[in-house]
Amino acid sequence: MNSDRRYPDAVSGPFETPPLEFADREDRSIEITPYDGSEDEFDALVEMYTAFDPSDRAQGIPPGKEARVRSWLEGILADDCLNVIAWDGRTAAGHSTLVPDGDDDFELAIFVLQAYQQAGIGTHLIESLLGYGDEHGITKVWLTVERWNHPAVSLYEKVGFETTGAESFELEMAIRIAAETSDRDSD
Amino acid sequence: MKVLLGFGGSQASVDALERTVDRAVAAGDELTVALAETEGATHDELAEQVEKTVAEADLSVELREIAGEPASELVAMAESEEFDELVLGGNTTSPMGKITINSTAEFVLLNSHVTVTLVR
């Protein structure tokens, strides 16, 4: 996307880091861990996304069919991406991902399965992903969100995202999670 | 059917052109391609790109050049010349796979009184 994206000057965080465990508002014990690269976890995410309510899709993702879900997941679960998963036992209840955009910045997305929404899982999921990102040297993260998706916009604002572009159908929001460091590998 | 396609040379507009040409051949549509210098390519380069795609399909296409604000020019052309459909390849995909609609497509969708097809 555009490399001249605007970011807040203020650094947000520090955020909690995975792994972590908490009781959600329904008193379910939820564990958040980084994606371990295994086929089991991949398949658990496929199961989560094929069960996803189509009305909760945003801007075309998650895709609707299992084959498309698989190829989309292959892209965002690649080695250069960062992923955390919220588990209720062996069920993937939520997933959040950071995907490099080729400009040193990362695009974020978060999905929580319908039965697990409004239980506080999204907040832990996004915060632990940002903490995990910070641990991996990521400084700038952005996302787009449909402007009518108020629950998502409030979640993003709560953790420190600011609206940086509002002239399109979607809002663009960005967050700075670490100061730029001069000794970082440049390319 | 009289079809007007907006073409700026992006991959999305190339995909839209290919789809529209296939459809025009199958349905006997009359196709006009409006060339807009939105992606840095000149009118001549765009014309060459379109002619190459069309040559393979054996379809005669009218080429028009638009200047100024491409979105409003397209809408005005579609309405004043009584086209039946306006076609655009108007979206891009973010690294995440999210579809975002560019400003030209957004303007056309909101303002055109002619039916708009957004090719994905």
Tell whether B110 is covered by a domain.
Answer: no
E strand residue ranges, B8-113: 30-36, 62-66, 85-88, 91-93, 99-101
Architecture of domain A20-176: 3-Layer(aba) Sandwich (3.40)
For the residues of A130-164, what is the DSSP string, one character each?
HHHHHHTT--EEEEEEETT-HHHHHHHHHHT-EEE
The answer, for A59 touching chain B at a CB cutoff of 8 Å, is yes
Tell whether B96 is covered by a domain.
Answer: no
Among residues of chain A, what percentage have pLDDT more than 70? 95
Which pLDDT value is given to residue A156? 97
Spell out which residues of chain B touch residue A65, defining contact as CB-CB under 8 Å.
none
Query: Do A78 and A71 meet the contact criterion of CB atoms below 8 Å apart?
Result: no
Among residues of chain A, what percentage have pLDDT more than 90? 79
pLDDT tens-digit map of A127-163: 999 999 999 999 999 999 988 889 899 999 999 999 9
The answer, for B110 touching chain A at a CB cutoff of 8 Å, is no
Give residues 63 to 92 of A whose Cβ lies within 8 Å of B.
63, 72, 75-76
The answer, for A169 touching chain B at a CB cutoff of 8 Å, is yes
Q: Which residue of A has its CA nearest to B110?
A: A169
Tell whether B107 is covered by a domain.
Answer: no
Spell out which residues of chain A touch residue B96, defining contact as CB-CB under 8 Å.
61, 76, 97, 99, 107-109
Tell whether B103 is covered by a domain.
Answer: no
Average pLDDT in chain A? 92
Which pLDDT value is given to residue A161? 97
Task: Give the residue numbers spanning the domain of B41.
Answer: 2-90
Can you tell me the distance from the alpha carbon of A53 to that of A69, in angstroms, rounded to the nearest whole number? 13
Nearest to A123 by CA among A150, A159, A98: A159
pLDDT tens-digit map of A50-64: 999 988 888 889 998
Residue A17 confidence (pLDDT) above 90: yes
Which pLDDT value is given to residue A186? 42
pLDDT tens-digit map of A67-102: 999 999 999 999 999 999 999 999 999 999 999 998
pLDDT band at A176 (very low <50, low <70, confident <90, very high): very high
Q: Longest Cα pair distance anywhere in chain A, in angstroms?
A: 46
CA distance, residue B106 to nearest chain A CA (Å): 8
pLDDT tens-digit map of B7-19: 998 888 999 999 9
Can you tell me the distance from the alpha carbon of A94 to that of B35, in angstroms, rounded to the nearest whole number? 45
pLDDT tens-digit map of B27-64: 999 999 999 998 889 999 999 999 998 988 888 899 99
Which pLDDT value is given to residue A185? 46
Residue B86 confidence (pLDDT) above 90: yes
CA distances from A149 to A30, A59, A145, A155 (A): 25, 12, 7, 10
Spell out which residues of chain B touch residue A167, defining contact as CB-CB under 8 Å.
103
Q: Higher-confidence residue: A168 or A94?
A: A94
Which pLDDT value is given to residue B11? 86
Q: Which residue of B has its CA nearest to A2?
A: B94
Can you tell me the distance from the alpha carbon of B24 to that of B22, in angstroms, rounded to the nearest whole number? 6
Give just the sign of the alpha carbon dihedral A141, A124, A32, A45: negative
User: For chain B, give me the number of helices (H) and strands (E)?
Assistant: 4, 7
Which pLDDT value is given to residue A183? 46
Average pLDDT in chain B? 91
The answer, for B27 touching chain A at a CB cutoff of 8 Å, is no
Instruction: Sketch the domain layout of chain A as residue ranges.
Output: 20-176
Tell whether B112 is covered by a domain.
Answer: no
Residue B68 confidence (pLDDT) above 70: yes
Pick B95's closest partner by Cβ from A60, A63, A101: A101
Which pLDDT value is given to residue A181? 63
Can you tell me the distance from the alpha carbon of B58 to that of B71, in angstroms, rounded to the nearest whole number? 29
For residue A100, which amino acid is it? P
Which pLDDT value is given to residue A166? 78
Which pLDDT value is given to residue B18? 94
- According to DSSP, residue A11 is labeled P
* CATH number where B26 lies: 3.40.50.620
For the residues of A45-57, what is the DSSP string, one character each?
HHHHHHTS-GGG-
The answer, for B99 touching chain A at a CB cutoff of 8 Å, is yes
Can you tell me the distance from the alpha carbon of A143 to that of A174, in angstroms, rounded to the nearest whole number? 6
Which pLDDT value is given to residue A169? 76
Can you tell me the distance from the alpha carbon of B3 to that of B83, in angstroms, rounded to the nearest whole number? 6
Q: Higher-confidence residue: B55 or A186?
A: B55
Residue B96 confidence (pLDDT) above 70: yes
Which residue has tokens 């005669």? Answer: B60
Can you tell me the distance from the alpha carbon of A107 to that of B31, in angstroms, rounded to the nearest whole number? 38
Would the CB atoms of A59 and B99 count as touching at under 8 Å? yes
Q: Higher-confidence residue: A119 or B100?
A: A119
Tell whether B56 is covered by a domain.
Answer: yes
Q: Take residue A131 and report the two structure tokens written for it.
A: 């903490």
State how many domains chain B has: 1
